[in-house]
Amino acid sequence: MNEGHTWGGGAALSPWDTVMWRLEEDPHTRSTSVIVEVLDRVPDWDRLVQAHIRGSFQVPRMRERVVEPPLPLVTPAWSADPNFDVDHHLYRIGLPEPGTFEQLGEVVADVLQRPLDRTRPPWEAVLVTGLEGGKAAYLFKSHHSFADGMALMQMLELLHSRTSAPGTRQVPPAPKRPKVNGYTLLAGRLVGRAMGTPGALLRSAPKLPGKVFVNPFTTTSQIVGYARSLGRQVAPTVERSPLLKGKGGLGIRVLLFEVSLDDLRSAGRAAGGSINDAYLAAVVGGLRRYHEHRGHVVPQIPISIPVSTRRPGDPLGGNQFTGVRLVAPLGETDPEQRIILLREQVRAARSEAALDWLAVASRVLDKLPVAALAEIAFAGTSTADAQLSNFPGVGWEAYVAGAKVLGIYPVGPRPGVAMMAALASYEGKACLGFNVDPDVFPDIDLLHRCLLEGFDEVFTLTSSATDTSEKAP
């Protein structure tokens, strides 16, 4: 079985995917991300083109675009693009000398800011040549409705090669994919609802009395518990930092670097936590140092993190996550205590009854006009100072058209927050990508130093840690 044929799920966008897709029209709430892969050399262009053509057959979702109904009464659907052409999605650019990683970050920022063509499949790929040391970079940009970070890593594992030699793998023919337009989508869904509603009501009617009246205390307590949990999820936790608050600027600065994954794991274990706990503590420590350099003393800031809702047996691809809010102990100087405090909050958040609140709320939000939807979404995301994400990368040595992948750096969207930080693991490295607001962080070099110091501070928890002060991709 070719897993790529089912990657991404069914034809219908979920309500949550629909919300993210429709928010693309407002630059403040745009949810486009870029995966940056640093390569040991420049891959052969013709081979790279053929790899994308073959990959688009292996993962048919790459050949599908989003079709909107003429009225927002039903969710959009994925439909085969009758005019699909790899040339519309793949291009190359060259860096001027000296080809530094700072220059690469500027290119990533430009690519990230440019809106995708909403009439085509929502992805594009860029080969960046001229990187110092004869290296190159491969950028894969996609809309969040296409996939979340973990799903993108699944796709890379499907499409990347394990050797530098040209592959001989044959792609099995894909099953016929659905093709719709806005009007057939709307008519078909409405007819389906009309035919399915009576039966659904009859099937559910006998269950209602027993569920509501036999044990009303249990039902009421569950409702109250969910409501309280929802309040903890969506209500502002603490005041935003006056330094990071900003005004939701649209500019983008990108910062890429890496640290040792083993050191991060060891530091987390030393404090009774995980890689993720140590990562959160390190970034928070870096932000504390940045505040100190700028003359601000802030004890706590609100941050948010995504939590995967994937379960064993779930189909590959798509979006299966929810967001939770944490109170980052910015004033805590002890890295061990900072890890403990963050770990306790993450564990508590994962057990919340309203952990699924994004999926539940999107069933209502996806019916709203785009302007109202954008206003609500921006108001919700702008209650945090930073978003921090972490997911496993490709689990083996990967190649792109014969060039070896040296590092995989995720750069996520930044809706209404000053910073989006993301970590992907690859070959013993924790590869970090930061999307920051230049109006809030005017000195990107200072931020870089502070973040490295934040990781070094966490690494003091393990004697085998290596100094990160000179680390670069």
Q: Do domains 3-184 and 238-393+415-459 have the same CATH topology?
A: yes
Task: Provide CB contacts within 8 A for 53, sequence distance 6+.
Answer: 86
What pLDDT score does 227 carry? Answer: 57
How many helical (H) and strand (E) elements, i.e. helices and strands, does the chain have? 13, 14
**Closest by Cα among 52, 8, 7 to 400:** 52
What pLDDT score does 202 carry? Answer: 40
Strand partners, 91: 126
Is residue 419 a contact partner of residue 253, using CB atoms and an 8 Å limit? no
What pLDDT score does 25 carry? Answer: 74
With helix as H, strand as E and coil as C, how does 195-229 read? HHHHHHHHHHCCHHHHHHHHCHHHHHHHHHHHHHH
**Closest by Cα among 170, 240, 131, 126 to 473:** 131
Strand partners, 425: 392, 430
**Closest by Cα among 44, 58, 41 to 317:** 58
384-429: pLDDT as tens digits: 899 999 988 888 999 999 999 999 999 999 887 899 999 999 999 9
Q: Determine which one of 5, 89, 143, 144 is catalytic.
A: 144
What pLDDT score does 466 carry? Answer: 52
**Closest by Cα among 96, 93, 98 to 111:** 93
> How far, in Å, CA of 306 to CA of 319, rounded?
11
Calculate the CA 277 to chain-centre distance: 18
For the chain, give every domain's residue range. 3-184, 238-393+415-459
Fold of 3-184: Chloramphenicol Acetyltransferase (3.30.559)
> How far, in Å, CA of 185 to CA of 71, rounded?
10
> How far, in Å, CA of 435 to CA of 455, rounded?
18
Is residue 401 a contact partner of residue 51, using CB atoms and an 8 Å limit? yes
What pLDDT score does 170 carry? Answer: 67
What pLDDT score does 324 carry? Answer: 79
Determine phi and psi for 406, rounding to 5 degrees. Answer: -95, -30
Fold of 238-393+415-459: Chloramphenicol Acetyltransferase (3.30.559)
H or E segment at 149?
Answer: helix 149-159
> How far, in Å, CA of 322 to CA of 32, rounded?
17
Q: What is the CA radius of gyration of the chain?
A: 23
What pLDDT score does 339 carry? Answer: 97
Active-site annotation holds for 144: yes
Determine phi and psi for 131, rounding to 5 degrees. Answer: -70, 145
> How far, in Å, CA of 426 to CA of 418, rounded?
26
> How far, in Å, CA of 444 to CA of 457, rounded?
20
Residues of the chain with pLDDT > 70: what percent? Answer: 74
> How far, in Å, CA of 252 to CA of 340, rounded?
32
Strands 386-392 and 301-308: parallel
What pLDDT score does 79 carry? Answer: 92
Q: What residues in the chain have per-residue pLDDT under 50? A: 1, 197-217, 465, 469-470
Tokens of 231: 């309040």
What pLDDT score does 215 carry? Answer: 43
